[in-house]
């Protein structure tokens, strides 16, 4: 059982970390709270379903194609709908939640409300530390962690990453230093949505697809971002682990009360915030200018 708890926690933690870091990133750079963020995760799952079952593509090409398609949709949504409203925070909230609802209803129209599933990428089992684990789980965790590491490397070690970090700190000054902040925001949107889509694509073979699958992760992502401290990627990752672990513990220790996992993990968040209102790694929020 311990291995199961560990594996489930690792999968959920890395999915949440992927979603939450992307959410934080686009919040930091473009100052938008994108409530449609996890809808991109949902879309990727459905696109894979279509590409594999309807078009008969292999799972890997279907995944890559889905991620690309989601990025295109996300970037277009950003440029056409979200960016023009950037200064109106309430409008951004409404527009993005509307966008998520539209995606949800479209999935309902095309696929109905049935649960769908996607074939596995790899089959069989591997033995990790003397325990048999489904290879699909291992591949999923490995890929999620690798992508997270790659995003971190891009942010910390490249010219683009520096521009993203600088823009997140002070848009005006970044602009004065010659950075095209509007382009950088768009690129950040592409990265963030690619992360969400990749998370969706990687867990599609493990989870069940349904049109409302964006809502619960969205709540959890918001909780994680607040818990970790807004703007802190490290905080998001650690908070993802905390939330995923509390969810898993509830599910395993209280099998009949698995539906309580959300309430419990959000309760953990509330308790931490009562002790540290700025979040675990909260940075004092200095206004621009």
Partner 1 sequence: MVTPPEASNLLEVRGLTVCYDTAMLLNNVSLSVGRGELVGLVGPNGAGKTTLLRTVAGLVRWEKQSKQGTRAGNITIAGEVRFDGERIDSLPPHVIARRGLVLCPERRRPFTELTVADNLMAGAYLQKDRRALRETLDMVHQMFPVLKQRARQISGTLSGGEQQMLAIGRALMTRPRLLCVDEPSTGLSPLVKKELFAKISEINRRGITVLLVEQDTALTLSVCARSYVLSHSRIVASGARQDLLADQTVHRSYLGLQSP
Q: Is 53 in the site for partner 1 (CB under 8 A)?
A: no
- The candidate with the shortest Cα–Cα distance to 191, out of 81, 3, 62, 34, is 34
CB of 289 to partner 1, least distance (A): 8
Q: Which is nearer to partner 1, 107 or 174 (CB)?
A: 174
Identify residues 67-106 at the interface with partner 1 (CB under 8 A): 86-88
CB 202 within 8 A of CB 143: yes
CA 131/CA 198 separation, integer angstroms: 27
CA 77/CA 169 separation, integer angstroms: 24
Distances (CA, A) of 86 to 91, 95, 287: 8, 11, 16
Residue 272 has phi, psi (to 5 degrees) of: -60, -40
The contact pattern for partner 1, residues 180-219, with x = CB under 8 A and - = no contact, is: xx--------------------------------------
Number of residues that bind partner 1 (CB under 8 A): 23
Beta bridge partners of 126: 133
CA 129/CA 135 separation, integer angstroms: 14
Neighbours of 109 (CB within 10 A): 9
DSSP reduced 3-state for 280 = coil
CA angle 231, 238, 274 (to 5 degrees): 75
CB of 2 to partner 1, least distance (A): 39
Per-state percent for the chain, helix, strand, coil, to nearest 5? 75, 5, 20
CB of 77 to partner 1, least distance (A): 19
Q: Is 31 in the site for partner 1 (CB under 8 A)?
A: no
Q: Which is nearer to partner 1, 25 or 73 (CB)?
A: 25
Instruction: Classify the C-alpha dihedral 140-145-148-149 as positive or negative.
Output: negative
The contact pattern for partner 1, residues 154-183, with x = CB under 8 A and - = no contact, is: -----x--xx-xx--xx-xxxxxxxxxx--
CB of 171 to partner 1, least distance (A): 9
- The candidate with the shortest Cα–Cα distance to 69, out of 85, 53, 47, is 47
The contact pattern for partner 1, residues 116-155, with x = CB under 8 A and - = no contact, is: ----------------------------------------
CB 263 within 8 A of CB 252: no
Q: Which is nearer to partner 1, 88 or 132 (CB)?
A: 88
DSSP state of 281: T
CB of 75 to partner 1, least distance (A): 19
> Given candidates 54, 90, 286, 287, which one binds partner 1 under the rule CB under 8 A?
286
Q: Which is nearer to partner 1, 65 or 81 (CB)?
A: 81
CA 233/CA 81 separation, integer angstroms: 26
CB of 73 to partner 1, least distance (A): 24
CB of 157 to partner 1, least distance (A): 11
Q: Which is nearer to partner 1, 90 or 109 (CB)?
A: 90
DSSP reduced 3-state for 173 = helix
CB of 28 to partner 1, least distance (A): 10
Q: Which is nearer to partner 1, 64 or 154 (CB)?
A: 154
Q: By CB under 8 A, name the binding residues for partner 1.
A: 86-88, 159, 162-163, 165-166, 169-170, 172-181, 283, 286, 289
């Amino acid at each position: 059982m311990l291995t199961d708890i560990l594996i489930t926690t690792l999968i959920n933690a890395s999915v949440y970390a992927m979603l939450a870091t992307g959410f934080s990133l686009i919040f930091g750079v473009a100052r938008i709270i994108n409530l449609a963020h996890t809808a991109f995760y949902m879309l990727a799952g459905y696109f894979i379903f279509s590409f594999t079952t309807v078009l008969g593509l292999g799972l890997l090409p279907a995944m890559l194609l889905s991620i690309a398609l989601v990025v295109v949709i996300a970037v277009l949504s950003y440029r056409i709908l979200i960016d023009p409203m950037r200064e109106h925070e309430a409008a951004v909230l409404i527009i993005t939640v509307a966008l998520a609802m539209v995606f949800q209803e479209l999935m309902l129209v095309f696929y109905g409300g049935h649960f769908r599933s996607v074939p596995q990428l790899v089959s069989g089992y591997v033995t990790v530390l003397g325990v048999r684990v489904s290879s699909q789980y291992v591949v999923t965790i490995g890929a999620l962690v690798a992508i997270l590491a790659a995003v971190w490397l891009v942010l910390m070690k490249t010219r683009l990453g520096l521009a993203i970090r600088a823009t997140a700190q002070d848009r005006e000054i970044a602009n004065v230093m010659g950075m095209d902040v509007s382009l950088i925001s768009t690129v950040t949107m592409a990265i963030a949505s690619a992360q969400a889509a990749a998370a969706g694509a990687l867990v599609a073979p493990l989870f069940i697809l349904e049109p409302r699958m964006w809502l619960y992760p969205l709540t959890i992502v918001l909780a994680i971002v607040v818990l970790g401290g807004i703007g802190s990627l490290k905080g998001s990752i650690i908070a993802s682990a905390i939330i995923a672990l509390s969810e898993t513990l509830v599910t395993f220790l209280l099998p009949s009360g698995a539906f309580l996992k959300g309430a419990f993990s959000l309760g953990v968040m509330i308790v931490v915030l009562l002790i540290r209102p700025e979040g675990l790694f909260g940075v004092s929020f200095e206004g621009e200018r």
